[in-house]
Amino acid sequence: MLRVELATQLARVRTLIALAFLAAVPVLAGLLFASDAGHRNGTQTGLYGASPYSALNHTMASLEFIAPLLLPVIVALLAAAIASADRDWGILRYLYVAPVTRSRLLTAKFAAVAIATALALAVVLGAGFITGLAIFGSHPFHRIGSPNLTSTGALTRALAASGYTLLCMLSVAAIAFTLGLLLPRGAEALAASVAFIVAASILNGQSALRAVAVALPVHYWQNWVGLFEPDAATGLATGSLVQVATVAVCAAACLVVLRRRDPAA
């Protein structure tokens, strides 16, 4: 069933276009700042300011740029489609009479969502690294106003940041997937997911609404940036817990929805 889910979703033109969009951002950014190779990016600070120094710098700067909006939107697109496409196409009934059990179908869909999310993240990281390598070269990870990171240190932090971002994206994927099961059409699930991401991002930016924002998974998505700053990163554990809790609640909701829903209703 996992192969079925992957074959039906990853071979779609719109999936390939979405992934191409994700890859295009690091490529375009690299071309835009090619003339600054080895120098600070204007007056920018943090990862953006150091992006032209090395391939890994460019990779992490690309992730910081894409992770708050474009990446979650694409992940939501993939997850909502995996949840609802077979129902939209009508083949769900033929899968059930194939026969496939509900639990097997749901397990395959969960696995497909995880793979699609990891793939989307890998496209960003891969495009960023390859572009960075071609334009800025392989150099030590540069930090503005701080000593460079060792290769091992930089790689370890990059892996930790990627893992944390993957967890964050899995939470948005879980929300989109649940909406995909709940709502009648995939397009509605995608619209609702994007609306959630945008609304949550706006809420997160309002200091007066901090009490609400801390309950949203979005609030913690950029915490990994602290891994590349001189001070110790904060909020990663809390952020991870909120993402895991979101995934768990959504998975439970999916189980309830799928078990109670009459596929012919």
Residue 91 or 249 with smaller CB distance to another protein? 91
Encode 17-50: b = buried (16+ Cβ within 10 Å), e = exposed. Answer: ebbeebbebbbebbeebeebbeebbeebebbbbb
Cα separation, 75 vs 94, whole angstroms? 27
Residue 11 or 211 with smaller CB distance to another protein? 11
| Of the candidate residues 38, 45, 102, 150, the single one contacting another protein (CB under 8 A) | 102
# residues contacting another protein (CB under 8 A): 28
Query: Looking up tokens 């602290």, which residue turns up?
Result: 226
**What's the min distance (Å) between Cβ of 251 and another protein?**
20
Residue 90 or 147 with smaller CB distance to another protein? 90
89 lines the binding site for another protein (CB under 8 A)? yes
**What's the min distance (Å) between Cβ of 121 and another protein?**
24
According to DSSP H, which parts of the chain are helical?
Answer: 2-10, 13-32, 46-50, 55-66, 70-89, 92-96, 102-135, 151-182, 186-204, 210-213, 236-260
Return the range that interacts with another protein (CB under 8 A); candidates 9-17, 76-84, 154-162, 193-201. 9-17
Asked if 259 and 102 touch (Cβ cutoff 8 Å), the reply is yes
Structure tokens given for 202: 């706006």
Asked if 25 and 70 touch (Cβ cutoff 8 Å), the reply is yes
Return the range that interacts with another protein (CB under 8 A); candidates 5-13, 25-33, 50-58, 69-77. 5-13
Q: Scan residues 58-87 and list those touching another protein (CB under 8 A).
A: 85
Return the range that interacts with another protein (CB under 8 A); candidates 43-51, 97-105, 110-118, 249-257. 97-105
Helix (H), strand (E), coil (C) string for 124-187: HHHHHHHHHHHHCCCCCEEECCEEEECHHHHHHHHHHHHHHHHHHHHHHHHHHHHHHHHCCCHH
232 lines the binding site for another protein (CB under 8 A)? no
Residue 12 or 40 with smaller CB distance to another protein? 12
262 lines the binding site for another protein (CB under 8 A)? yes
Asked if 202 and 107 touch (Cβ cutoff 8 Å), the reply is no
Residue 7 or 199 with smaller CB distance to another protein? 7
Strand partners, 104: none
28 lines the binding site for another protein (CB under 8 A)? no
10 lines the binding site for another protein (CB under 8 A)? no
**What's the min distance (Å) between Cβ of 234 and another protein?**
46
Q: Which residues bind another protein (CB under 8 A)?
A: 1, 3-4, 7-8, 11-13, 85, 89-91, 93-102, 104-105, 262-265
